[in-house]
Structure 1
Amino acid sequence: MSWSWGYSPKIENYIPLDGFPADRYLVIALHAIKNLGWNISHVSESGIIAYTGLSWQSYSEEISIRTISGFGIVKSECVGIQMFFNDYGKNSDNLSNFFDEFEYVEYHLQDSWEEELMLYYAEAVLQDDNYFEKAPLASKEKINNIFNLFTPRQGYTATPILVQLNVLYYILTTAILLFPFHQSGAHSGAPGAWSSIYHHLGVNNRYLTLSGDYWRLIASQFMHFSPGHVFFNMYSLIYIGLMVENKIGSMRFLVIYILAGITGGAISILFHPIGNIAGASGAIMGMFGCFFALLINGEFEKNARKALLISTLLVVIIILVNGLQRGVDNAAHVVGLISGFTFTRMFQWVSQKNKFKPVWAYAAVVLLAMTVTGTILAVTPNYQLEKFNELSYSYHRNEFQAWRIYYYNNYFPNGNKEEKLRRITHYGISNWQKNVAISKEMQSLILPEAHKQKVDRMTRFAQTLLKINQLLYYECAEETTKYRPEIERLTNQMNAIKKRNYEF
């Protein structure tokens, strides 16, 4: 047993017929396939296509047998997306089983050739002799090397262009991110250093998008955060593009892709009130939804449809289960999937109505997508949590500086009076005045109720500490203890605020 590796793992054997009749070769192959229990999808004078059942090594394989120029060409190819790009020996097992069964069948059909040939031609004459050019995996036949995956051609135009744009934009994004990292100290830890760059490049973000930057719903589809992020998305896009684009056309493919990405992006900001969102997964899941619509509508032969439906369904389930982990935008996956399915069904329905022009199908799909997106955006509150976090960071930074006055007082209780007053002013009063101003700015933000309560506590905390530091200044300057009772009262008040779940 040997393992086959590649984007679409397969094994293809060329068997010299040496004068053996091609039709007899196909008759034997047909019986061998039936004996093995594989599901026959197509039988014609050009050859035979069948599909295996599910196994732990592969979702399913397409088995094709053709006779061309004196050779019998037998191929086993994985149907779905293969984990780690190999078939775990399944294609090798398929061909081994086929050839073993072939020898058995050949021996037992020696006395019934005429009858078997008549039955074969009776079945073959009813089917399309050009079906091999339309078979589900036919597009993959033209992939001779990895560069073909990125090269537009008839029936495969939108997919490679989208892949190129995603990869190029990721390279551009990475280059821009790395430059300020070295030049402006973006590694300093301040929040928003890299986030600000992502904002300029078009990342999806609730506050920015709802503030009028609706173009982010498209731009963010071409942004990715890591090599693995862009790689696996493009791998999935190429797989589904090879299966779908030649069926619906490049223009419909592009429209469904972009619109599914838009609706997925809209639902993302509904479920993610804070943070940056990017990636093509919502749009790609839209194409999986499109594929399901094509399968349900009978765009593929029955047995091929069954194998493709099961294998693709398993892939989608794996994607959605993986999306349950933290940091994965499953909301975009689910809505993208539903959107792609719905848009494709709408295209199919309008196209079936001969009284409608094709342009009306596009208009209906765009109108539906914009209605869904607009509704989602309308019900999504535009909280200013990004700004809140930026102000909160500054607040806590000032607070850390303010506590430095106590270090001096604890280690130098009899220290210089002027130095004490300078430290109280510089570290204490100054920083708490800044925090009072920051908390006032926070109060003007649009925030969830829990954040509003937190701002209220931060405001009272800053005001209390400002009063304490002012009294400490008076106490030191006048060299008196008359302010001590008020300082202690305010200190108790400060501690009470801290007990109310105030988080530093």
Structure 2
Amino acid sequence: MAWGISPKKTAQVPLHGFGTDKYLAIVFNAFENLNWKVSYADDKGLIAYTPISWESYSEQITVVIENEIAHIKSECVGYQAFLYDYGKNEKNIELLITEIEYCAFHIQTDIEGNIQRFKDSFYQHPGINLSYTPLGAKDKFTHLGTIFIPRKNYQVVPVLIAVNCLVFILQRIIFFAYVFALNQKGVSDVKEKSTAFGKLLYGGIERNLVLNGEYWRLFTACFSHGSVSHIFFNMIFLAYIGSIIEGRVGKWNFLGLYLMTGICASITSIGFRYEEMGVGASGAIMGMFGVFLAYLSTNFFDAKARTAFLISTVLISIITLWPSGEGIDHAAHFGGFISGYIFGIFSYWAYTKAERSKRYFIRMVSYVLILLAVSSWVFFMPKYDLEAYRKSKDKMMVDLNLISSYFYSSDYDTLTKVERIVLLETKMIPVIRKNEIVLKELKNTPLPSEEEKNAKHFFKYYGNKLKIYELLYKEFKTDHPAYRKKMQQLTDEIYEQEEE
């Protein structure tokens, strides 16, 4: 059994005097017998991939000969649930060693022919070699702590992980110190002040704050997280995808893609989420999965490696993008993923150019064009101040209860009719007039489409209630039954609304 971001099992087998060429020819035959697809072969080793099945979406099998020892490794290609290989790698090692022993016995009669057949199959691909396999730096992970260690083809990702973790720790320390200081001073509105401070400290994306000019939040939100589990799983996924593709796209291009897709994810998020603050690196991380999928849709990776990666990448993408669960910013995930795929196509196009100047030009143009296209959406987004809208509604309902009390509260039972009329004219009618103005203003307030239907119901209900109470006042003052029919009509409309 093996655990980790890149679960693996290794074994060392002596050549027993076979020699490198003979032993690799035997391994080549063993791969064929097991139906493991050889992706790379040279005079030092081989790389193959196990078939896709319900039990496995492929492992990478590497055999390298050094100092008369065969170093055999089976490593999971895709992301493993719970970071566990379910015994697949150990089983692969056992199968291969058994098959090698079988082949070593049966191909002795034509060993030279098998060696030549192996050499004829030598295959090299620009993205694959024994020192840097399709797994990239992923196969260097031995425990969780290694995701923080920079190495060849893995330099920007550990810095991003460290920055995210440092920001998370500092934000918690500063926030709790601020709340503690407020409590020590005996401040009465601690919750209100701490909420306002938290919005500034965490730099999350909130629609109205961004549309009011705080565009820096589109960037800072990518480095803030809401909980320990939030940052833990985000960093695991960042280490996974970053270790595979940083070396492919280049460290500075990786950083650019990460930041650009993160900003695109933030913009998409505020386009679909009208309130509450969003934080997290998941939009940028899904952007890198989009980049990876774009590369997998080209011939950049060898076909066997591409198939192995594709299953895991598609599964992770579907699970992450599927709109389920509370508190998950699916819009950010979707925006990051789609923009990442588009960026990835441009990135691959740049990769195909031999001249460095052309590669840089294509990348910069893609950054500018895509970012301009997405950010232009910001200027057409309507502002929705739902918090102010709901506060106004709550205050109006309080006023409605106050208006009702002037008619039905026992506090006024001792008043004469004249005194009650004076009370209604001086206390109730001004409240009605004030709320008629507020109601008119609310009707002109921009609201999201899903809020509009409820708002229309509320406006009609509240307007009818104000009219009924004004008619009650007139009836009470004049003792004239003429107002009764209209009041009944308005009451019927309210009942009809409640039944809808």
TM-score normalised according to structure 2 size: 0.81
Residue 121 of structure 2 aligns to a residue whose secondary structure is helix
1:258-295 CA-partner distances (Å, limit 9, x unpaired): 22222222222232234433332222121112112222
Q: Distance in 2 between matches of 1:186 and 1:253?
A: 45
Runs of 5+ in structure 2 lacking a partner?
Answer: none
Seen in structure 2, the aligned counterparts of structure 1 residues 406 and 169 have a Cα distance that, compared at 3 Å, is farther
Deviation digits for residues 34-63 of structure 1 (CA, Å, limit 9, x no counterpart)? 100011111112211111122334321011
- SS of 2:384's equivalent in the other structure is coil
Q: Give 1:39's aligned residue.
A: 37
Q: Please tell me whether the aligned partners of residues 52 and 61 of structure 1 are also in contact (alpha carbons under 8 angstroms).
A: yes
From 106, 111, 121, the equivalent of 2:119 is 121
Which stretch of the first structure deviates more once superposed, 491-500 or 114-123?
491-500
Q: Aligned letter for 2:249? A: I
Distance 1:173 1:434 in 2: 44
Secondary structure of the structure 2 residue equivalent to 1:111: helix
Aligned partners of 1:432 and 1:462 also within 8 Å: no
Q: What is the match of residue 286 of structure 2?
A: 285
Partners of 2:466 and 2:201 in 1: CA distance: 36
**Structure 2: how far apart are the matches of 1:43 and 1:124?**
5
**Segment of structure 1 superposing worse, 90-99 or 264-273:** 264-273
- Structure 1, unaligned runs of 5 or more: none
Alignment map for 1:63-74 (pairs within 5 Å): 63-74=61-72
What does residue 453 of structure 1 align with? 456
Q: CA deviation at 1:247?
A: 0.8
* 8 Å CA contact retained: 2:461, 2:494: no
TM-aligned CA distance change 1:250 to 1:465, over 3 Å: farther
Aligned to 2:78: 80
Following superposition, the deviation at residue 97 of structure 1 comes to 1.3
Distance (whole Å) between structure 1 residues aligned to residue 204 and residue 112 of structure 2: 68
In structure 2, what is the equivalent of residue 499 of structure 1? 495
Cα deviation code 1:144-196 (max 9, x no counterpart): 432220233342222222223333334445556656499478898x9x98487
* Matched residue count: 489
Between 194-203 and 482-491, report the one with greater CA deviation: 482-491
Contact 1:149 1:238 in 2 (8 A): yes
* Further displaced range: 97-106 or 218-227: 218-227
Instruction: State the shift of 1:488 in Å.
Output: 7.6
Match of 2:46, SS? Answer: strand
SS of the residue 2:12 aligns to: strand
Offset at residue 486 of structure 1 (A): 9.9
- State the distance in 2 between where 1:48 and 1:376 align: 50
Q: CA deviation at 1:332?
A: 3.0
1:235 matched residue in structure 2: 236
CA shift for structure 1 position 85: 1.2
Once structures 1 and 2 are overlaid, which stretch shifts more, 49-58 or 4-13?
A: 49-58
The 3 A distance-change label for structure 1 pair 497 and 24 is: same
Query: How many angstroms does 1:32 deviate by?
Result: 1.0
Matched, 1:333 2:333: yes
The aligned residue for residue 93 of structure 2 is 95
Q: Tell me how far 1:83 sits from its aligned partner.
A: 0.6
Aligned to 1:302: 303
Deviates more, 1:143-152 or 1:326-335: 326-335
1:70-99 Cα deviation digits (max 9, x unpaired): 322111111111111111111121112112
Q: Which amino acid aligns with 1:277?
A: G
1:5 corresponds, among 3, 6, 10, to: 3
In structure 1, the residue matched to 2:316 is: 315
Compared CA separation, residues 350 and 91, structure 1 to 2 (3 A) = closer
Q: Provide the identity percentage.
A: 32
Q: CA deviation at 1:424?
A: 9.8
TM-score (ref. length: structure 1): 0.81
Any residues of structure 2 matched to 1:99-498 within 5 Å, and which?
99-124=97-122, 131-175=129-173, 180=179, 183=183, 194=195, 197-198=198-199, 201-321=202-322, 323-350=323-350, 352=352, 356-396=357-397, 409=410, 439=439, 442-443=442-443, 445-447=445-447, 449-450=452-453, 453-454=456-457, 456-457=459-460, 460=463, 463-464=466-467, 495=491, 498=494
* 2-structure distance, mates of 1:309, 1:272: 31
